[in-house]
Amino acid sequence: MSAPGLQGLRPWIIQRITAVYLAIFIIYFALSAPSMGTMTAGEWRAWAGSPVNTISLGLFLIATLWHAWIGVRDVILDYFPNVVARLFVLALVAAVLLGSLLWGLKALLLML
Amino acid sequence: MAGSDSRPFFLNLIKIRLPVPGVVSIFHRISGVFLFIAIPWFVYLLELSLKSDEGFEQVTRLLNQTFSKLLLIVILLSLIHHLFAGIRFLLTDFDIGLDKQQSKNTAWLVIILGIISFVLIMFGVCS
């Protein structure tokens, strides 16, 4: 925040780094997770419970939420010129994302 | 602002003929918002499916409902478009595909690859 000209650069870069991870994980998930129609609870838990997959899922969760925050924030800044409305919607989105983070972490902690 | 009065100024969305790259761009945004809305639902399903065998069964039953299937289709379409359009935007960050014709071609490519992937995935799921 010390360099006014650079304020938008950090989220811009984070948006792109998380995008690359999200793309890689989605392809990995599609190829390696048990297929949705036929899998059993045990197979699913075994997949999500292997250390590499638990960690990749955790990173995916964080990357998704961060990516979504930056993206939705950009959309809100475009369509809510009224400062009060803008802050309200931003806070709402932040609450949804932070809630999802806590609930998602709870899901992954079940794997430990 | 001299001479700018003759600009076509209308926000009638039906009258605006958006070029293909513009269509890809606005759907990237719309699909992004859809995917954001899907996040809490997916996190809820993830937690439920990992919690217990009963939870997993509950998720299976939930996802077998017609309404859930419709939602999943919308989310799948959004994800596919967001992914391909996103890759296209990342390439433009590296100055790839910037001239007008190329940008038109890659926009069409995003749409066509999206449709093909969607059809293939639906085939895979239904067969």
Residue B13 has pLDDT above 90, yes or no: no
| CATH code for the domain defined by A9-111 | 1.20.1300.10
Tell me, what's the ipTM?
0.91
Residue A16 and residue B90 in contact, taking contact as beta carbons nearer than 8 Å: yes
Residue A1 has pLDDT above 50, yes or no: no
Query: What average pLDDT does range B99-107 have in this prediction?
Result: 93
Q: Does A99 touch chain B (CB under 8 A)?
A: yes
What residue spans define the domains of chain A? 9-111
Structure tokens at B90: 């990342």
∠ CA B88-B110-B34 to the nearest 5 degrees? 85
Chain A: residue whose CA lies nearest to B91: A16
Query: What average pLDDT does range A6-29 have in this prediction?
Result: 92
Give the global pTM. Answer: 0.89
Write out pLDDT tens, residues B37-68: 999 999 999 999 999 999 999 999 999 999 99
Residues of chain A with Cβ-Cβ distance to B39 below 8 Å are 64-65, 68, 96-97, 100
Residue B40 and residue A100 in contact, taking contact as beta carbons nearer than 8 Å: yes
Beta carbons of B57 and A41 less than 8 Å apart:
yes
Considering the domain B20-126, what is its CATH architecture?
Answer: Up-down Bundle (1.20)
Residue A108 and residue A56 in contact, taking contact as beta carbons nearer than 8 Å: no
pLDDT band of A5, cuts 50, 70, 90: low
Separation between Cα atoms, residue A75 and residue A18, nearest integer Å: 18
